[in-house]
Amino acid sequence: MTPPGCAVSQPEPAPPPAAPRSATFQFLEDNFGLDLRSLAFFRVALALIVIGDLIYRARDLEAFYTDFGLLPRYTLIGQFADRWIISVHNMSGLWQVQALLFLIAGIFAVMMLLGWRTRLATFLCWFMVLSLDNRNPVILQGGDTLFRMLLFWAMFLPLGAYYSVDAALDPEPVRPRPQRIFSVASLALMLQIAFVYWFSVIAKSGPEWRHDGTAVYFALSLEQFATPFGHWMTRFPGFLRFLTFFTLVVEALGPVFLFIPGFKGAFRMLGVMFLIGLQLGFASMLWVGHFPFIGTAMMLAMIPSWFWDTALFTNTRRDARKQARTALKIYYDGDCSFCKKFVLILRELLVMPEVAAVPAQSVAAVQQQMTAENSWVVIDAEGKSHFRFDALSLLHKHSPIFLYRWRGHLIGWLPLQRRLDRLYYWVERNRPRLSRATAFLSYRKMHERTSALNQTVALFFLAYVFWWNLGNVNEKYVMPVEYHWIGIATRVDQIWDMFSPGPLRDDGWYVIPAQLKNGKEIDLWRNGAPVSWDRPSAAAVAGQYRDERWRKYMNNLYFDIYAPYRLHFGRYLCRYWNRDKSPNDPDSVQRFRIEFMMRSNLGPGVSSTPRRVTLHEHQCYD
Amino acid sequence: MDKRPIAETLRRAWCLDLRSLALFRIGLALVVLGDLAARAQGEDLKAFYTDAGVLPRNALTARFAWPELWSFHLVSGTSAGQDWLFAIAAILAFLLLIGFHTRAATIAGWLMLLSLQARDPLILHGADVLLRLLFFWAIFLPLGKRYSVDSWGLKDDLGSEDELTVAPFWPSLTFAAQIAFVFLFTFLMKSGPEWRDGSAVSYALGLEQMGMPLGQWLRDFPALLRLITFGVLAVELAVPFLLFLPWKNGRLRTIGALAILAIQIGFGFTLRVGHFPFVTGIAAIALLPSSFWDRRSAPERITETGFPRLMSAFVAALLVYVLLWNVSTLGRGVRMPDRVQSLGRGLRLDQYWDMFSPSPVIPDGWYVMVGTQRNGGRVDAWRGRPFQESLWSYPGWRGLHDQYPTERWAVYLMDFHTDEGLGQRIQFGEYLCRRWNAGRSKDDPSMLMRIEIYFMQRQNVLDRRPDQPIVKKLVHQQQCGPR
């Protein structure tokens, strides 16, 4: 009798001819499907963005997500949030509980990163991101909408088909592995990317975009947003005129390239490169937060199979490395469930499916070595045996992924390796305990086929999202209000109106002069420095915000529709500055004004003097 | 036989029986299911847990929540959202009932119960406090070793004739101690003169809002009620001792458990105390000793089910914590620092056993809620009917009892007319307006424009005459808002 899971232990055979399928479907899959390896990298990118965003947001935990902060739950729920908004983060107003929720979301992201219970992990990540976004909508930007949508469509896609714990622990994997997926959701993901750019082109209807070509100039001369490079670029208005129209062209045509069939997907690859380039261009000139990362991550999913199959392996060294991998053999202790799982997962995550993994018990000589050395055994092409961390290092050095090879050299460094081997001995001694501890990693069959339910739900949401976008740009097609709740509850509502219809013209900086109890005047916005009304340098205007979330919040506060939020920001400032101070403390803040020093942007060569706009006057009570 | 060391004797006396615990598990699941069903009946789900009800989430978080309050039920303010959460809680309770992944189901069920209770603290009473505490201590007990899916097909580890498997020591002790605390501290808090002179039960039964037929009938026998007063005190004092005296091989504990059952059944038939008798009843079941189930001689050896030593220390520490908490509620000099209290309020170990204490004299009466329509007509805003003058006159105990459609409404409105109810009134008024005006157009002549809420207070709760003196108290009046 074969022990369960034995089939995985063999190296993957060379792909036999594919099973017969309908020619039309084959054509669609080949030309419009998504490569599963690309989706795996997409998964890793999404998970890393979730983790990065959590770390980034955690610095402002108290200000943005607690009842102490600038948007306590009672105001969010009572005044601002739609009734269909869902947020678990409303469960408590304490930073401690918010921190716990951040931690839980982080665990879900790690699940997704490793591809363990991938679909569930993706759903949980999506839900936690939606919940977090809903807890404080004032600090969100277009990138957050896009990111929610990517996670949303990802739930319907097999992100864990490659390079995942799920793939490693599939007891009876389909061989050869499927290469591509074509489903409603895969199409929806492509269309979603197209919608972002196309609808944003339609929304850019101002003369700055369509006629004068001054849009990029105006965007870059907003000192609040421009990077030093972007600021420097304003010296070349002629070139920026070209960039304006070039942006429009790339946004309009880049997505079209994704849909051009044939040529092994070369056009699609071109589209990917153009659109990633566009994002990098934005990132170099404007402070747009994590948008470029998200904009790049989504393009990873679009990379055609050709790129992985051919483009990457034309290099002879890469070919040689691949050849070397087929000669490797991993022997693990077949009586140790933890050992087997570890080897299978390692092989998958190091992207080396060509390597054979077999129980040491199957070869008497190797079994002797295993018992003698108390270690797993990796045999290289020369037939030399490697043990412990030396073996791990060897495997890493053969990985096609550069980072892993680098890590292989690191752990292969002898002084370090000896220390690490001590860790190995600890693991060796505790194998039964580790086997019990890893029992939850069960062998599960991966479902390759897309279910009818999956297709139906994805189709519904694709139509819904298209309708929603259409309504944004043409009043004739606005969705009736009674259907809005679906979009609001799932947050698939979206609007792509970055820099539209034209870029913002108002720039400036904040001053928050405050009177203390002892009569002193300080600037709350500059950490209690003396008040100064002088115009700061362009870099200082961009640097007045602690981070992107604060930048977005303060930008929003300036607009009339966000006027009701100013009172709560004021209350937060009182709480923050007077924390731990008795009401009679001479240093406690009594009252302050929120002033925006507004400078209208009149165009190249015309300078305007800043005007003081009082957004809010506030009196602190105890 | 009693030559064994003390530790062994205590283990034999205090470790809980696995069959009792399994029955307790089933009882717990049924109580939770019943509680969910009761909370969801009629308009109650909408009224108490949604933003359209008497306690919208913004009001809760702004005015009624203590900092440590947390609730998943704040995730959404819609009925649909609450339906989902109720369904999840019911599924978890069902898993507990059949004993499927018992420990995980217990933890998850406990979290859902805390969450539900925190969503509307204004409708909680003693039974809810006890329920969440039992649930919490149950996490540490082996509830799924008998009569469960988890134990299905496993070899019965009851062992041979002379060996018995029981629950681990510290969780068992803590569970029983929690129940003993309820009785001990409610006894200690009953310091009012009515409990000394024997009139307490008469006063309690005089609270006709909480009346039950048997209790009302008993009011004809004041001498008997005096006896019952002292009987209640005696049982409340005796229970802790009966539960913990380690002699007589469990017979005392059986008596203790049965005494708890008896007194709770007594309460259940005489007073409207909601699910209190059921909650205490399942607690009593859990306490039934092994000797109750098999009438054989004491087994030679007993073994405890596995429990990490670290967890034992944790449970023991929590036991001390809860003891200190209870002592601090007596207000005799022991006070817990605020920091330390946070833990109890976060895990909802906070408890205060002040049923009918210090004194059982609670104001009694009935509400009249007058709504005035746009066309000047008057309605009974509470029942949503045309107004009748007879609402002003004393309707007898039955009428007082029936003014509340469900137990939760009784708890919500019991203190509404006192200062404690001050914060609730505006939201309640808005709820009444919204409920009546839903579906009516803006200029509908039957639109409710304003409401006045009166409490018709009985002057002397012992007085049973139909023409007894009543004081009419205007509790609240407000205009109906635009919504």
* A21-27 contact pairs (CB < 8 A, 24+): A25/A182, A27/A261
Q: Report the percentage of chain A scoring pLDDT > 90.
A: 54
Question: Could you say which of B62, B67, B77 has the minimum Cβ distance to residue A74?
Answer: B62
Mapping DSSP onto H, E and C, the string for A141-179 reads: CHHHHHHHHHHHHHCCCCCCCCCCHHHHCCCCCCCCCCC
* B402 φ, ψ (degrees, to nearest 5): -80, -5
pLDDT at B483: 52
- Residue B255 DSSP one-character state: H
> A532 pLDDT band (50/70/90 cuts)?
very high
Taking alpha carbons only, the member of A116, A157, A120, A170 closest to residue A353 is A170
A14 has a pLDDT exceeding 60: no
What does the alpha-carbon distance between residue B427 and residue B122 come to, in Å, rounded to a whole number? 12
Neighbours of A50 (CB within 10 A): 24
Domain map (residue ranges) of chain A: 39-172, 314-437, 506-619
pLDDT tens profile B420-443: 899 999 999 999 999 999 988 888
pLDDT of residue A313: 58
* Total number of residues shown for chain A: 622
What is the per-residue pLDDT across B181-220, written as a single tens digit (0 to 9) for each? 999 999 999 988 999 999 999 999 999 999 999 999 999 9
**DSSP states along B81-122:** HHHHHHHHHHHHHHHHHHTSSHHHHHHHHHHHHHHHHHH-GG
From A34-38, A261-265, A456-460, A609-613, the region with the lowest mean pLDDT:
A261-265
Q: Which residue of A has its CA nearest to B58?
A: A74
Whether the Cβ atoms of residue B99 and residue B148 lie closer than 8 Å to each other: yes
Question: Which of A91, A128, A485 has the highest number of chain B CBs within 10 A, making it the mutation to test binding with B?
Answer: A91
On average, the pLDDT of chain A sits at 89
- Does the pLDDT at position A310 exceed 80? no
B423 and B164 Cβ atoms separated by less than 8 Å = no
Cα A145 to chain centroid distance, Å, stands at 12
Average pLDDT value for residue range A16-36: 78
pLDDT: is A178 or A86 the higher one?
A: A86
Structure-token pair, residue A116: 């363990």
Cα–Cα distances in Å, from A223 out to A287, A290, A378, A504, A526? 10, 19, 58, 11, 17
Q: What's the confidence (pLDDT) of residue B9?
A: 84
- Enumerate chain B positions whose Cβ falls within 8 A of a Cβ in A: 51, 56-59, 61-62, 65, 67-72, 74-78, 81, 115
The tokens for B123 are: 């409708």
Predicted confidence (pLDDT) per residue in A318-328, tens digit: 777 888 888 88
Helix (H) or strand (E) holding A121: helix A118-135
For residue A6, pLDDT beyond 70: no
Residue-wise pLDDT tens digits, A555-607: 999 999 999 999 999 999 999 999 988 888 889 999 999 999 998 877 777 77
Average pLDDT over residues A297-306: 93
Closest by CA to A169, choosing from A366, A414, A370, A446, is: A446
* Chain A residue numbers touching B65 (CB-CB < 8 A): 93
- β-strands A506-511, A385-387 pairing: unpaired
pLDDT band at A2 (very low <50, low <70, confident <90, very high): very low
pLDDT for A584 equals: 84
The burial class, CB within 10 Å (0-12 / 13-18 / 19+), for A146 is buried
Closest approach of B68 to chain A, Cα-based (Å): 7
So what's the pLDDT on residue B161? 61
Contacts of A91 in chain B (CB under 8 A): 70-72, 74-75, 115
The 10s digit of each residue's pLDDT in B239-297 is 999 999 887 768 889 999 999 999 999 989 999 888 999 999 999 999 999 888 876 66
The three-point CA angle A254-A260-A264 to 5° equals 115
Q: For residues A53-65, b (16+ Cβ closer than 10 Å) or e, as one string? A: bbeebeebbbbbb
CB contact under 8 A, B58 and A74: yes
Please answer whether residues B116 and B32 qualify as being in contact, where contact means their C-beta atoms are separated by less than 8 angstroms. Answer: no
Q: What angle do CA A277, A282, A283 make, to 5 degrees?
A: 95
d(CA B395, CA B402): 10
Query: Which residue in A77, A78, A91 is closest to B72 by CB distance?
Result: A91
CB B459 within 8 A of CB B470: yes
10 Å CB burial of residue A266 (0-12, 13-18, 19+) is middle
H or E element, residue B178: helix B169-189
Task: Give CA–CA dist A501/A514, Å, rounded.
Answer: 37
> Who among B61, B77, B115 is closest to A83 (CB)?
B77
pLDDT of A338 reads 85
Q: Specify burial of residue A96 (Cβ count, 10 A radius: 0-12, 13-18, 19+).
A: middle
- Residue B280 sits at φ, ψ, to 5 deg, of -70, -35
Residue B114: closest C-alpha in chain A: A91
B352 neighbors B377 (Cβ within 8 angstroms): no
Q: pLDDT tens across B377-402, in order?
A: 999 999 999 999 999 999 999 999 99
- CB environment B54-63: b (16+ within 10 A), e (fewer): bbbbbbbbbe
Residues 6+ apart with CB under 8 A from A515: A521, A589, A590, A591, A592
DSSP-derived secondary structure for A411-454 = HHSHHHHHHHHHHHHHHHHTHHHHHHHTTTS-------SPPHHH
Q: Which CATH code for domain A314-437?
A: 3.40.30
Flag whether pLDDT at A9 surpasses 60.
no
Rounded CA-CA distance B34/A173 in Å is 47
Mode of pairing for the β-strands spanning A513-516 and A180-181: unpaired
Q: ipTM, 2 decimals?
A: 0.89
Residues of chain A found within 8 Å of residue B62, distances taken between Cβ atoms: 72, 74, 78
Res A3: pLDDT: 41
Amino acid letter for position A147: F
Give me the pLDDT at residue B358, please.
84
- The predicted structure's pLDDT at residue A4: 41
Q: Which chain A residues touch B58 with a CB distance below 8 Å?
A: 73-75, 77-79
Alpha-carbon torsion, ordered B237, B243, B246, B252, to 10 deg: 90
Q: Nearest CA to CA, how far is A314 from chain B (Å)?
A: 53
Instruction: With cut-offs at 50, 70 and 90, classify the pLDDT of residue A312.
Output: low
Output the six-digit token pair for B281.
């009843």
**Domain spans, chain B:** 6-346, 365-479
A81 or A320: which leads in pLDDT: A81
Cβ–Cβ gap B67/A87 under 8 Å: no
In this predicted structure, what is the pLDDT of residue A293? 95
Q: Please give the DSSP secondary-structure letter assigned to residue A80.
A: I
pLDDT in tens, B22-68: 999 999 999 999 999 999 998 999 999 999 999 999 999 998 888 89
- Cα–Cα distances (Å) from B184 to B134, B327, B352, in that order, read 16, 10, 12
B301, B330, B62, B19: which is closest to B156 by C-alpha? B19
